[in-house]
Structure 1
Amino acid sequence: MSAPQHRGAVFTVALAQLLGTSLWFSANAAADDLARAWGLGASGIGWLTGAVQLGFILGTLVLALAGLADRFAASRIFVASAVLGAACNLGFAFLATGLASGMAFRFCVGLSLAGVYPLGMKLIVGWAPARAGAALALLVAMLTLGTALPHALRALGSSWDWQLVISASSVLALAAAGLVAALGDGPHAPPPLRGRRGVQASVLQAFAAPQLRAAALGYWGHMWELYAFWTLVPTLLAQAGLAQRTGWSVPALSFAVIAAGAAGCLLGGALSQRLGSARVAGGALALSGLCCVVCAAVGERLPAAGLVLLFAVWGAAVVADSPQFSALSARSCPPQWVGSALAIQNSIGFALTVAAIALTTVLVERWGLRTAWLLLPGPVLGLALCRPLWRAGG
């Protein structure tokens, strides 16, 4: 297959990732309407987000420890998961009646996303193994836009019922399934493994490799900050009064801040070809940590333009390291275990997001912008734990 065809396949997988991951924060885009309809506060919205994360954690653990991520074609798992996620998201929109039933449907959405995000990474590696850093940067850029997309739908359809805003993500996820079903797996995808014996031991032993372990530790530090930040963005923007101070709605500002991460990922992917994935990941982690400090220490005193700029830079930096850590992990792992190793790395990372989201959403109404202090340990520990890899410049 020619290079242009490879690039087209990578773009197709990335586009499918954008559409499929719009399911992730579909409920958060309708947070104000849900709060009114179900009597929820910021912590209630945090529980809905946490339910997605818990579902994702369980799903990735099952995929990894049962060896499913490497025993079946990645494209088949992706398609089935996107269709299931679309159905569960529709169930949340039209069948959920309160926080408890809503959390159950969101948990099922998270289970489904376990077959979309890490399997999307495996698909990318199967199409472009030699350019994993740049290709995964494009993939995570699309995931970031997918995360921001529900906020754009809310901003564009401000008069829509919240059920329609959420349902739009299901339509997009079905389109993602269609794209991957038509594309299939890449020519560099390893053949499916046969049998289950020794799967757990082999996958876990892979993390004994120093480079894989360092990349995973850096990734886990980054994850403490990332999803809590994405969850908090609408609340922090509203508390800072930026809608009144700028004339932009909170959904529009939220979309802009989160979508800035797509530009950060693409820039990081380009820089990784010159500087190496480790240096790019370390630099992005350091910059997002600096944004935490500025927001918490002086954010309340910044003018509107300065605060918007801070959030835009933070939105770009907070996710730019993610594809580089994943590329480093994929490069350091035996090829036959890439899918399972990435799934385990994702699972542990997302377990950390549940704690971060629960902690920050409980305190954000009292702490406001100072809640960023609670996000800072992620970048600091991530930098410290991946320091050998960063110095090596891999």
Structure 2
Amino acid sequence: MTTATAPVRAPALTLSRIVGVSVARAFLFATFMSVAASIPLLKTEWNLSASAAGAIISSFTVGYAISLFVFAWASDHYGAKRMAIVSAVLAAATSVVFGLFARDWWSAFILYGAVGLAQGGVYTPLIVLFSDEAAPAERGTAMGWLIGSTSVGYAASLGAVGLGIAVGGWQTGFILSGLLPAIGAVLLIVFLRPLENRVHARAVDMRVRDQLLKNREAGLLVSGYTAHSWELLGMWAWIPAFLAASFALSGSEAASATVSGAYLSGFLHLFGATAAFSMGRLSDRTGRKPVLIGTALVATVLSFTIGWMISAPAMALVPVALVYAFVCLGDSPVLSTAVAEAVRPGYLGAVLAWRSLLGFGAGAIAPIAFGAVLDATNAPGGTPTVWGPAFMMLGIGGALATICALALKGRRQS
């Protein structure tokens, strides 16, 4: 008589499904750069000040921060798969409405804010879902694809809006970028369909605060992520202007320098995506801690260095900028993987909610602080020539992230 053996459940999150979800996210992010890429035209046609134009982006940013928190929290209570799909459908709908009906400052301010409110569920809930469904030995690779698709989406957004502007002006750019998230929503539903919508049971005697304050590894990883966000988001906000200033100081005309800086920044996003893919996979092989230490340390060194290279020739500056983008983004998937392994199931969504709020808050302040240092160290008007102190301020975040990584226990993976 033979005894039947229960089959071992294979990981539901196959590589093809991971890639499919990542492609879907790239489409869903098509509106992220719609306004930023159109600001020069909008300022003229809508008669906007720089502050008014920036306020449109701020409405999206505030909405996105709220969305990240709400959808992450809801993942613990209603399931990560369900929240990701709800967010994708809402993002597609609000993006179409924005693309078709944003025709002045007020409509853009309100509708772009609505797009931000819808977007958060295609990030934090998917971290929870990938943590649940990916094989432990491949979890870093899966997170690398997830985080890398964000950078691809940013670059694709710039491309879609640029193509639309070239064909028919900012209106066409808005419409084209607004329609693409619908494709992403359909793809996400298709690729997530076979996966289970898990809701983990919570311990009666444990609260989210315990995971944030009493779980040493989780606390270090959330702190490291906050410091990392300060450096990363500050860098992304100002690297186009820095590169444009460098090109202008080397003799390029202002318009040409601005375009060159924007194009190179788009390429940096794509190059940063390779960091997410490769560093996530590397952490599966060598452990999370060594990768976190290495990327944070090199990023810190470059933050303290690159600003002083403003007058360097492009052949010297561009490779440094590429490495800078690579290491600044390289620890993102590893931080997400490590916190998913450190936090008890059923609490990960709430921890990610607070992590997003802290990280996004730091990332929102960093560009303002960078600009204040830049103003304080340069004469009013003209192209800034002193950038070192501002970038060094971002390096403080990198240094803190390095310290947090060094303090981790160094488990390879859960």
TM-score of the two chains, using structure 2 as the length reference: 0.82
1:88 corresponds to which residue? 94
Given candidates 303, 310, 313, the residue that maps to 2:313 is 303
**TM-fit CA distance, 1:151:** 2.1
1:148 corresponds to which residue? 155
Given candidates 351, 357, 369, the residue that maps to 2:367 is 357
Task: Quickly say closer, same or farther: Cα 1:372–1:44, change in 2 above 3 A.
Answer: farther
Q: Is the 8 A contact 2:288 2:411 kept in 1?
A: no
**Alpha-carbon distance in structure 2 between the residues aligned to 1:59 and 1:126:** 22
1:25 corresponds to which residue? 33
Given candidates 203, 221, 239, the residue that maps to 2:245 is 239
Q: Is the 8 A contact 1:92 1:106 kept in 2?
A: yes
**Letter paired with 1:118:** T
**Alpha-carbon distance in structure 2 between the residues aligned to 1:109 and 1:380:** 34
1:8 corresponds to which residue? 16
1:264 corresponds to which residue? 275
Question: Map of 1:107-146 to 2, 5 A cutoff?
Answer: 107-130=113-136, 131-146=138-153
Task: Quickly say closer, same or farther: Cα 1:97–1:390, change in 2 above 3 A.
Answer: farther
> C-alpha offsets along residues 209-246 of structure 1, whole Å, 9 cap, x if unaligned?
11111111111111012223222233223222277689
**TM-fit CA distance, 1:165:** 2.3
**Letter paired with 2:32:** W
Structure with more relative contact order (C-alpha pairs < 8 Å, separation 6 or more): 1
2:208 corresponds to which residue? 203
**Letter paired with 2:264:** L
Given candidates 378, 381, 386, the residue that maps to 2:400 is 381
**TM-fit CA distance, 1:272:** 0.9
1:79 corresponds to which residue? 85
**Alpha-carbon distance in structure 2 between the residues aligned to 1:311 and 1:188:** 42
1:277 corresponds to which residue? 288
**Alpha-carbon distance in structure 2 between the residues aligned to 1:172 and 1:346:** 25
In the alignment, does 2:332 pair up with 1:322? Answer: yes
* Paired residue secondary structure (2:121): coil
**Letter paired with 1:291:** L
Task: Quickly say closer, same or farther: Cα 1:24–1:12, change in 2 above 3 A.
Answer: same
1:175 corresponds to which residue? 183
RMSD, matched Cα: 3.2
2:3 corresponds to which residue? none
* Paired residue secondary structure (2:166): coil
Task: Quickly say closer, same or farther: Cα 1:2–1:332, change in 2 above 3 A.
Answer: closer
**TM-fit CA distance, 1:23:** 2.8
In the alignment, does 2:323 pair up with 1:291? Answer: no
Q: Which moved more, 1:250-259 or 1:219-228?
A: 250-259
Task: Quickly say closer, same or farther: Cα 1:89–1:388, change in 2 above 3 A.
Answer: same
* Paired residue secondary structure (2:304): helix
Task: Quickly say closer, same or farther: Cα 1:264–1:17, change in 2 above 3 A.
Answer: same
The structure number with the bigger radius of gyration is 2
Question: Map of 1:46-65 to 2, 5 A cutoff?
Answer: 46-64=54-72
**Letter paired with 1:327:** T
Percent identical? 23
**Alpha-carbon distance in structure 1 between the residues aligned to 2:296 and 2:258:** 31
**Alpha-carbon distance in structure 2 between the residues aligned to 1:360 and 1:42:** 17
**TM-fit CA distance, 1:287:** 1.9
**Letter paired with 1:290:** V
**Alpha-carbon distance in structure 2 between the residues aligned to 1:262 and 1:273:** 17
Given candidates 333, 344, 357, the residue that maps to 1:334 is 344
TM-score of the two chains, using structure 1 as the length reference: 0.86
Q: Is the 8 A contact 1:25 1:49 kept in 2?
A: no
Q: Is the 8 A contact 2:224 2:402 kept in 1?
A: yes
**Alpha-carbon distance in structure 2 between the residues aligned to 1:48 and 1:57:** 15
**TM-fit CA distance, 1:37:** 3.1
Structure 2: give runs of 5+ residues left out of the alignment: 1-8, 379-383
Matched pairs, number: 388
Task: Quickly say closer, same or farther: Cα 1:163–1:225, change in 2 above 3 A.
Answer: farther
> C-alpha offsets along residues 357-379 of structure 1, whole Å, 9 cap, x if unaligned?
33335665754644323322211
**TM-fit CA distance, 1:261:** 0.6
Task: Quickly say closer, same or farther: Cα 1:279–1:153, change in 2 above 3 A.
Answer: same
**Alpha-carbon distance in structure 1 between the residues aligned to 2:98 and 2:287:** 42
Task: Quickly say closer, same or farther: Cα 1:277–1:41, change in 2 above 3 A.
Answer: farther
**Letter paired with 1:202:** R
Q: Which moved more, 1:345-354 or 1:53-62?
A: 53-62
**TM-fit CA distance, 1:390:** 7.2
**Alpha-carbon distance in structure 1 between the residues aligned to 2:193 and 2:199:** 10
Q: Which moved more, 1:239-248 or 1:137-146?
A: 239-248
In the alignment, does 2:192 pair up with 1:184? Answer: yes
**Letter paired with 1:372:** F
Task: Quickly say closer, same or farther: Cα 1:102–1:238, change in 2 above 3 A.
Answer: farther
* Paired residue secondary structure (1:206): helix
**TM-fit CA distance, 1:329:** 0.3
**Letter paired with 1:293:** F
**Alpha-carbon distance in structure 1 between the residues aligned to 2:164 and 2:188:** 28
